[in-house]
Amino acid sequence: MTRMIVHRLLVGLFVMWGAASLIFLIVRAAPGDPATVLLGPDADHAQIVRLRASLGLDRPLGAQYLSYLGDVCRLDFGESHRLGRPAMDAVLDRLPATVDLTLTATVTAVIVGLTLGMLAGGRPGGLLDRVVSACTIALQSFPTFWTGIMLVLVFALNLRLLPSSGVGTPQHLVLPAVTLAFPFIAIIARLTRTSLVETMSEEYVRTARSKGLTERQVLLGHALRNSLIPVVTVVGVQVGALVGGAVIVENVFAWPGLGSLVVEAVANRDYTVVQGATLLIAGIVVVLNLMADLLVAQLDPRIRTGAV
């Protein structure tokens, strides 16, 4: 168990190094740089060259990369010259809003998705199963920006039940969280259904039936926990994708989270902020995956004792 955790943490470090390196190259591959953006279109060439030099952007890429890695290892994520403050400070300021949003979306998606999946999988081929299947296909196919706009149209503009954008009250959270949760609900529901149907055909479920248990006792006592194992793994991975999906939703709903910060930062070639935010998100994903793995180990003793 300890070995597994250590192993996972080492892999996580490797993943974060990969993410740091990739984003370092990608931001620099985009046309323009912080100097041109900071100085605006009217700046002359000499000014740009001077600012570049002072930002260290005139050095060879390899040298920049090495000093960037060195700084990151010392937890120094650099200054955002556009914002005039340490990049990580700006990122951490925006983090709570994104955490609120993704956490609400995740909890909603897990509760609704598991319920739908269990209802559908409890009776495969039944009416409920077909209805849930149709709904989940729809939920999964609609792009997030479209569902976001539709929800705003219906609940904010027509029914005037909920605010269309911004922050402040819990009501502000509803539409963006639901928008973000929709495709996630679909994924969880479909996976839960499949896994439950598969588990119910396992031989140990037949053994449970052979003890004279009711279907309900079989489901709750033997099938449910085992069918959740693959779901937990996927939820762990998908929450990471959710943080990525939050970028779009935050922009649709003017939600002041990491997503909108990153979009601004990319537009302004604010390298340090993009890098800092990416590293933070990568770190969160690594931790979430580790947590999912630990939870799976908790559910499945074969993994806990290293038998599989």
Residues that bind another protein (CB under 8 A): 202-204, 206-214, 217, 221-222, 225-226, 299-302, 305, 307
- Minimum distance from CB of 237 to another protein (Å)? 21
* Nearest to another protein of 8, 304 (CB atom): 304
- Minimum distance from CB of 124 to another protein (Å)? 10
- Minimum distance from CB of 228 to another protein (Å)? 10
- Minimum distance from CB of 58 to another protein (Å)? 60
* Nearest to another protein of 4, 37 (CB atom): 4
Q: What's the CA gap between 289 and 8, in Å, rounded?
A: 9
* Nearest to another protein of 123, 130 (CB atom): 123
- Minimum distance from CB of 214 to another protein (Å)? 7
* Nearest to another protein of 33, 202 (CB atom): 202
* Nearest to another protein of 92, 299 (CB atom): 299
* Nearest to another protein of 14, 204 (CB atom): 204
- Minimum distance from CB of 1 to another protein (Å)? 14
